[in-house]
Amino acid sequence: MTDLYAVIGNPIAQSKSPQLHAAFARQLGHDVRYEAILAAPDSFRETVLAFIASGGCGMNVTAPFKLQAFELADELTERARMAEAVNTLKFSAKGILGDNTDGVGLVDDIQDRLGVSLAGRRVLMIGAGGAARGILLPILQSRPADVLVVNRTAARAQALADALASQGPIRGGPLMAAGGEEYDVVIHATSAGLNAGEAPPVDYRVAPDGLAYDLAYGEDTPFMRQARDQGATRVADGLGMLVGQAAESYRVWRGAMPDVRPVLEQLRLT
Ligand code: ATR
């Protein structure tokens, strides 16, 4: 029997998730159907419940519904609780499980595919919104020496650091707290570069064997340009994280981990 999954969001036409999950299912020889569902802003809950009633096994959740998915879930994983956002729903007789695979997608991309270990390293996170919150727990679980979160609104960075303080060495401050110092891994998690904007003005250097990573994807994002201008030799966009979070969702649903690399290579070509 064909198992049914979907991604839900608004807008949704741009989503690469159907393409990714179709590739995973082909790779693993699974009989899976994966749809894209556009939901009106005020009909998230009823759209999910209708999908469950039609036999759906799981869903990916994208903007603007990650918080509503968090509230809808009957049970949450620790990483979803910390993220206060859900990008993966799994349906079973026990109810609705809410998970968040964004952080693992990012950490796997940085460590496994880009080959930069986070253990014992200094991490600078630029941004303290939903995207930053979603990835900080898996970063701290990778045992960095230190994580500094800087944000235009310093109080938000401080609050995020306070919320995660029990999980590892993390501090928060204004953009200028980066202080022109050297970091091993710099992660850009603001929405400032989207829609032809500029990356926030932050003064940092990237260690010679380090990495500057943009959560957004594109060949040459404003943050990637900024990082290169400040001397970074290795920069990456977030396409690997996108494929990685999808693969981890697939694993949560079906217990089998797809091979990310060939799917990522294919995506780079399209
Ligand atoms: P997301 O889910 O994409 O993280 P969000 O929760 O609205 O969205 O957070 C947006 C992030 O981008 C925040 O860190 C925000 O900074 P503030 O907390 O100060 O608002 C940051 N951001 C957005 N536009 C920005 C800009 N022009 N300059 C600097 N930071 C910006």
236 and 142 co-located in one domain: yes
State yes or no: is 66 an active-site residue. yes
Domain's final residue, options 57, 77, 100? 100
- For a substitution probing ligand 1, which of 191, 198, 223 has the most ligand atoms within 8 Å of its CB? 191
96 and 107 co-located in one domain: no
Q: What does the pLDDT read at residue 197?
A: 81
Whether pTM exceeds 0.75: yes
Looking at residue 10, the DSSP 8-state letter turns out to be: S
Q: What does the pLDDT read at residue 190?
A: 96
226 and 151 co-located in one domain: yes
CA of 223 to the centre of ligand 1 (A): 14
Tokens of residue 195, six digits = 């829609």
* 163 within domain boundaries: yes
Q: How many domains does the chain have?
A: 2
Q: What does the pLDDT read at residue 142?
A: 97
CA 82-85-89 angle, to 5 degrees, is 110
Q: What does the pLDDT read at residue 125?
A: 98
Give the burial string for 98-132 (b: 16+ CB within 10 Å, else e).
Answer: bbbbbbbbbbbbbeebeebebeebbbbbbbbebbb
Output phi, psi for 139, to 5 deg.
-65, -50
195 and 125 co-located in one domain: yes
Domain's final residue, options 83, 100, 117? 100
CA of 200 to the centre of ligand 1 (A): 9
**Domain containing residue 92: CATH number:** 3.40.50.10860
16, 66, 90, 94: which is the annotated catalytic residue?
66
Q: What does the pLDDT read at residue 135?
A: 94
110 and 48 co-located in one domain: no
**Domain containing residue 117: CATH number:** 3.40.50.720
CA of 207 to the centre of ligand 1 (A): 25
Question: For atom 10 of ligand 1, which residue has the closest CA?
Answer: 129
77 and 123 co-located in one domain: no
Model pLDDT for residues 208-264, shown as the tens digit of each residue: 999 999 999 988 999 999 999 999 999 999 999 999 999 999 999 999 999 999 999
Model pLDDT for residues 156-189, shown as the tens digit of each residue: 999 999 999 999 999 999 999 999 999 999 999 9
C-alpha Rg value of the chain to the nearest Å: 18
Model pLDDT for residues 17-47, shown as the tens digit of each residue: 999 999 999 999 999 999 999 999 999 999 9
* 270 within domain boundaries: no
Ligand 1 environment, Cβ below 6 A: 127-131, 151-153, 156, 190-192, 200
* 250 within domain boundaries: no
CA of 221 to the centre of ligand 1 (A): 16
Ligand 1 atom, smallest distance to 152 CA: 19
Res. 193 pLDDT band, cuts 50 70 90: confident
94 and 162 co-located in one domain: no
Omega cis (within 30) before 222: no
Rounded Cα distance, 120 and 125, in Å: 16
Output phi, psi for 22, to 5 deg.
-65, -40
Q: What does the pLDDT read at residue 157?
A: 98
Q: What does the pLDDT read at residue 82?
A: 92
Looking at residue 176, the DSSP 8-state letter turns out to be: G
* 258 within domain boundaries: no
Model pLDDT for residues 99-118, shown as the tens digit of each residue: 999 999 999 999 999 999 99
234 and 121 co-located in one domain: yes
Which residue shows structure tokens 């995207």?
131
Model pLDDT for residues 83-104, shown as the tens digit of each residue: 999 999 999 999 999 999 999 9
69 and 93 co-located in one domain: yes
Domain's final residue, options 82, 100, 118? 100
Full residue range of the structural domain in which residue 12 is found: 3-100
